[in-house]
A and B are shown apart, each in its own frame.
Chain A
Amino acid sequence: MRVVTYAAATAGLAAAILAGGAPAALAGPAGTPGQIVNIFPNPSAPGTSTTFQVNCFLQSSGQATSATLSGSQLGLADQIPMQATSQQNVFITTVVLPTSLAPGTYNPEIDCSNGVSASATLQVNAVPSPAPETGDGATSTTTNGWLTEVGLGLLGVGAVAGGVVLRRHRTGSRT
């Protein structure tokens, strides 16, 4: 008989893992009933290396010797073998989520050799694709406008003064 259980990685569990900060924190207590799948990090993102850990133990099912992760939903190989760990019934594998993976919720399934199968909820968040726009180019485009104003002012003063001088000169030469 095939035993199917679903264990969602609860927020609390995820938080506990995050607080631990390292995949070592994934290792759950050996032999606890309840087929737990831990995903780290969760939420994850496309292109991110993501670790799945499963505890295949179930009293009625005996020991598991191997486990496989079904990656087809995630755009990965259908049967991804998981590695045994120092803990009995605990298997682990790390995959890189495809960069093309759409954001959303996934329920990849894990099958253990003892007939236990489990799935967990993996949240895949979008990575903002376009580069941010942070500036309007003021320092790259703004010219010293005030210099121009002063310059034009000087030109004006010069022109007026020149006119006055010329006029005086002409008046002077007549007399």
Chain B
Amino acid sequence: MPRLVQALVVALLVAGLALAYAGSHTLRWSPPPAPPKWAGRDHHPPRPAGWEADRPADRPDPADAARHGYQVEPMSSSAPVSISIPSIRVRAKVIGLGLTKGGDVQVPPLAHPFLTSWYDRGTTPGAPGAAVLFGHVDSAAVGPAVFYNLGELRPGDLIYITLKDKRTGVFKVYSAALYQKATFPALAIYSYTSWPSLRLITCGGAFDTSTGHYLGNTVVFAQYVGQRAAAAP
């Protein structure tokens, strides 16, 4: 009998040690997913349509749009109010934010990890030009935040953005990439595109614990497909 008790005590101690070690050496969540490194160009997508400011992205096939009940005309300017990305189960509010005094783009406060922001100095989604939206990847309070799964998006996935005028713009992903912050392609992201385009941005890559910042940004490039009066699915 004492032998059994002894064994139990040893088992308790071993299990305790193992758990304590595992608890302090494993992550509670997996780090955010990253888009694939595209062949041949480290961290750079294959020149997507609309990559150059003056080159319009591929226009949607009107027959395709008609089949889905979309109108293909660009949308009139109206601020975005919500975003829906069914393939990664994102459904979030959008607020308009500009620049900080230092000239950085403003992002939603970390206290609101499920809020996204639209760069309000740029074009509105669905109007000619590039509309840019930001969302957090994670936050201490909740773990994975609104754009945690952005890196899972692949060409062809659909993004729905509802504007203040109650119309919903449909966008199709054409590229996604992880960029190091040092080489963040700001011009390619913010520059004018003659066909309406959309960029979704969050943090990604390795995390630098010394600075408390991610070393990269995940950027999803999408182009306008069409609009409809109904709300996002």
A binds B: yes
Give Cα A131 to B30, complex, Å: 23
Determine whether B31 belongs to the interface, using a CB cutoff of 8 Å to chain A: yes
Q: Determine which residue in A126, A132, A145 has the highest number of CB atoms from chain B within 10 A of its CB, and name it.
A: A132
Q: Is the CB of A142 within 8 A of B194?
A: no
Bound Cα distance A83, B201 (Å): 39
**Considering the complex, which residues of chain A in the window 109-165 have a beta carbon less than 8 Å from any beta carbon of chain B?**
125-159, 161-162, 165
Binds B, one of A46-54, A57-65, A71-79, A84-92: A46-54
Pick from B8, B52, B136, B179: contact of A134, CB below 8 A: B136
Interface-lining segment among B17-25, B42-50, B154-162:
B17-25
A128 contacts B119, CB within 8 Å?
Answer: yes
Task: Name the residue on A nearest B29 (C-beta).
Answer: A139
Q: Kindly provide the distance from the CB of A72 to the nearest chain B CB, expressed in whole angstroms.
A: 22
CA distance A18 to B77 in the complex (A): 10
Contact in complex: A135, B138 (CB < 8 Å): yes
- A112 smallest CB distance to B (angstroms): 25
A21 contacts the other chain (Cβ, under 8 Å)? Answer: yes
Verify if B233 is at the interface (C-beta below 8 Å from A).
Answer: no
B137 — which chain A residues lie within 8 A by C-beta?
134-135, 139
Chain A: interface residue total (CB-CB under 8 A): 55
Contact present for B2 and A169 (CB under 8 Å) = yes
- Indicate the member of A94, A147, A168 with the most B CB atoms within 10 Å: A147
Chain B contacts to A: CB under 8 angstroms: 2, 5-6, 8-13, 15-32, 52-54, 74, 76-77, 99, 103-105, 107, 110, 119, 121, 127-129, 134-145, 147-148, 179, 181, 184, 186-187, 190-192, 194-196, 201-203, 206-207, 209, 212-214, 217
Q: A151-B15, A168-B2 are in contact. List 17 more A-B contacts (CB 8 A).
A: A21-B74, A41-B128, A48-B53, A49-B53, A130-B105, A130-B184, A131-B181, A135-B136, A136-B139, A138-B139, A141-B207, A142-B29, A142-B140, A150-B19, A154-B15, A155-B13, A161-B5
